[in-house]
């Protein structure tokens, strides 16, 4: 079983839609949860991180962590064509190595 599972998509939505991206994991020691955005032929860039459980909001983006279910989500409100990219979840225990999901490709149609 992989440490982190992520649906590869692709996910295609109309502009303005609410997007939900998800990852599941198996290691209960994970405490740091991150979402990265990767545009085509670019390096991943950090969007948001959350420590332990709970929600975190940043503009149109909301990250949620449910440690009891080993499930994390990223919500994008009022999605824009510029949000079209691959979104990777990542997680780590304290001082431990990172584990990345395989990425979900998102396409927001104008």
Interacting residues of 106 by C-beta distance below 8 A, sequence separation 6+: 9, 10, 11, 12, 13, 19, 21, 79, 83, 84, 85, 86, 87
To the nearest whole angstrom, how small is the minimum distance from the Cβ of residue 86 to other proteins?
A: 10
Judged by CB under 8 A, which of 58, 68, 94, 110 binds other proteins? Answer: 94
CA 109/CA 69 separation, integer angstroms: 32
Residue with tokens 């545009």: 39
Judged by CB under 8 A, which of 5, 7, 17, 32 binds other proteins? Answer: 32
To the nearest whole angstrom, how small is the minimum distance from the Cβ of residue 18 to other proteins?
A: 26
Judged by CB under 8 A, which of 19, 21, 34, 108 binds other proteins? Answer: 34
For residues 54 and 72, is the Cβ–Cβ distance under 8 A? no
To the nearest whole angstrom, how small is the minimum distance from the Cβ of residue 78 to other proteins?
A: 26
Judged by CB under 8 A, which of 45, 57, 66, 78 binds other proteins? Answer: 45
Does residue 76 belong to the site contacting other proteins (CB under 8 A)?
Answer: no
Does residue 101 belong to the site contacting other proteins (CB under 8 A)?
Answer: yes
Does residue 40 belong to the site contacting other proteins (CB under 8 A)?
Answer: no
- Copy the structure tokens of residue 68: 């009891």
For residues 83 and 108, is the Cβ–Cβ distance under 8 A? yes
């Amino acid at each position: 079983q992989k440490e982190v599972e992520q649906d590869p998509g692709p996910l295609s939505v109309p502009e303005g839609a609410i997007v939900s991206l998800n990852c599941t994991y198996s290691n209960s020691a994970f405490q740091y949860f991150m979402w990265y955005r990767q545009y085509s032929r670019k390096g991943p860039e950090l969007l948001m991180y959350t420590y332990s459980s709970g929600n975190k909001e940043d503009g149109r983006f909301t990250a949620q962590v449910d440690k009891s279910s080993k499930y994390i989500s990223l919500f994008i409100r009022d999605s824009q064509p510029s949000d079209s990219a691959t979104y990777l979840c990542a997680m780590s225990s304290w001082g431990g190595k990172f584990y990345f999901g395989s990425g979900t490709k998102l396409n927001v149609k104008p």
